[in-house]
Amino acid sequence: MNGVLVIDKPRGLTSHDVVKLARRLLGERSIGHLGTLDPSATGVLPLVVGSLTRLAQFYVHSEKVYEGTIRFGFATDTYDAEGEPCGPPQSVRVTDEDLRVLAKKFEGVIQQMPPPFSAKKIAGVPAYKLARKKKDVPLKPVAVEVKEIELRTIADGKCSFRVRVGSGTYVRSLAHDMGQTLGCGAHLSTLRRTAAAEFGLEDAHTLEEVSACVQQGTLDTVFVHPRKLLPGIPSVTATDETAGLIRCGRSVNLPEFSQALQVKVYYGQKELIAIARRVAGTLFHPEIVFVS
């Protein structure tokens, strides 16, 4: 069982919880995810299954898109609605123009402090474990990229938003820092991931839908079509001879890809058998071979 399965993660489950449930549903131990979602967040959580777990290395720096709600008026210790307020509510006097100006301040490459309640490691210990014990969490700011952010009309202290970010960006920290900038405090009220790399909500299925497909014997219908994977890498359909060489780890000549650094190699329409890298001229060597 090799493929990519996109789960519409429900609120309340960790990403690892979803992986464990998927292993149980599919009867497959080799499953991983392509980017953690907070338990309180919902949305796109791509899972790599079987030999395609080796694809994870290509998604380390994937772009993500989120939609959600920021509540202005007070900050929390977790930077989201799950935490304890850091002080009494403040009055919120923010106009639509204020929001546009605020959004511009947070676009581009910025220095961002991760939340104290996060999986960031401090001397090998996740920050959230120290934060729960009320210990100091000496985190350092890191450079992240906010590629696009839209803050919509604010009402009753709440503002909906859409944001497109590079890897490693904490949307919770964005909300918190915006509140600090305005001087009234803020936290992330709701969050839904609508896209991760090339995967969107249109590809996603609930765990209940996956379970039903397992029972009906239609599991193949919920996997992402292999031709959709890694759209930035060109693809080739191998002949029987070429596929045989690649499966054995042998280099092959692909004259039509003289300018490409990497090529996805398919056998037939749906079987991804390898990612090959150009070693010289039009000679490509299989960098990763996916066992069928």
Token pair in block for residue 218: 């239609």
Question: Do 208 and 200 form a contact (C-beta atoms < 8 A)?
Answer: no
**C-alpha neighbours within 13 Å on the C-beta side of residue 95:** 3
Q: Which residues are catalytic?
A: 38
C-alpha distances in Å from residue 217, one per residue of 20, 51, 240, 269: 21, 21, 29, 21
